[in-house]
Amino acid sequence: MGRDQQIGIYDVEKSVGSIPGTEIRSLFNSRRLLTVVLFAAFLPVVITSSFFYYTTPDASTAAMLFFHKPKGGKNVPSFISATSSSNTGVEPSNGDTEITTDTNQEESSRNSPEPEATDEDVERTIETSVDVENSTSLGVNDSKPHEETTLEENTSSIVMKRQGPTNTANSSKRGHQNCMKNGRPDTGFMYWKWQPQQCDLPRIDAQAFLIAMRNRSMTFAGDSIARNQFQSLLCILSQVEVPDHTYNAPDDRDNIYVFRTYDFTVAIYWSPYLVHVEDKDITWPDNKTQSVAHIHVDKLDRAWTDRISGVDILQISTGQWWFKRGLFLKGNKPMGGHICDGWKECEKEIGFADPYRLAIHSLLKNSLSIPGYTGTTILRSFAPDHFEGGAWDSGGRCVRTTPGGVSISSLTNWMYEIQTEEFQNVTGAMSESEKQRIKLLDITNLAQIRADGHPDVYMKFQPFSKEMKQPPQKDCLHWCLPGPIDTWNDLLVESLHDKIHNY
Interior/surface letters 189-224, b for 16+ CB within 10 angstroms, e for the rest: bbbbbbbbbebebbbbbbebbbbbbeebbbbbbbbb
What residues contact 433, with CB distance under 8 A and at least 6 apart? none
Diameter of the chain by CA atoms?
96
| Catalytic residue IDs | 224, 475, 478
d(CA 484, CA 502): 29
From start to end of 332-397, where are the E strands? 333-338, 376-380
Query: What confidence score (pLDDT) does residue 33 get?
Result: 53
Query: What confidence score (pLDDT) does residue 52 get?
Result: 54
d(CA 499, CA 189): 32
d(CA 135, CA 290): 24
- Which burial class, exposed, middle or buried, applies to 226 when counting CB atoms under 10 A from its CB (0-12, 13-18, 19+)? buried
Query: What confidence score (pLDDT) does residue 26 get?
Result: 44
d(CA 29, CA 26): 5
SS3 readout for 58-74: CCCCCCCCHHHCCCCCC
353-366 and 410-428 helices cross at what angle (nearest 10)? 30
Q: Which amino acid is at 257?
A: Y
Going from N- to C-terminal start, the domains of the chain cover 3-44, 50-65+93-144+165-500
Interior/surface letters 299-316, b for 16+ CB within 10 angstroms, e for the rest: bbbebbbebbeebbbbbb
* DSSP codes of every residue in 162-202: --PPP------TT-TT-TTTTT----GGGSEEEE-TTS--P
Query: What confidence score (pLDDT) does residue 245 get?
Result: 98
Contact 48, 197 (CB under 8 A): yes
Q: What is the pLDDT along the chain (503 residues), one digit of tens a residue?
A: 433 333 332 222 233 333 333 333 443 455 555 555 555 554 443 333 344 555 544 322 222 333 333 333 333 333 344 333 333 333 334 434 333 333 333 333 333 333 333 444 433 333 333 332 333 233 333 333 333 434 333 433 333 232 344 444 433 434 789 999 999 999 999 988 777 878 888 899 999 999 999 999 999 999 999 999 999 999 999 999 999 999 999 999 999 999 999 999 999 999 999 999 999 999 888 889 999 999 999 999 999 999 999 999 999 999 999 999 999 999 999 999 999 988 888 989 999 999 999 999 999 999 999 999 999 999 999 999 999 999 888 889 999 999 999 999 999 999 999 999 999 999 999 999 999 999 999 999 999 999 999 999 999 998 888 888 887 889 999 999 999 999 999 999 999 988 876 52
- Which burial class, exposed, middle or buried, applies to 10 when counting CB atoms under 10 A from its CB (0-12, 13-18, 19+)? exposed
Query: What confidence score (pLDDT) does residue 413 get?
Result: 96
Cα–Cα–Cα angle for 357, 418, 450, nearest 5°? 130
d(CA 479, CA 447): 10
d(CA 423, CA 342): 35
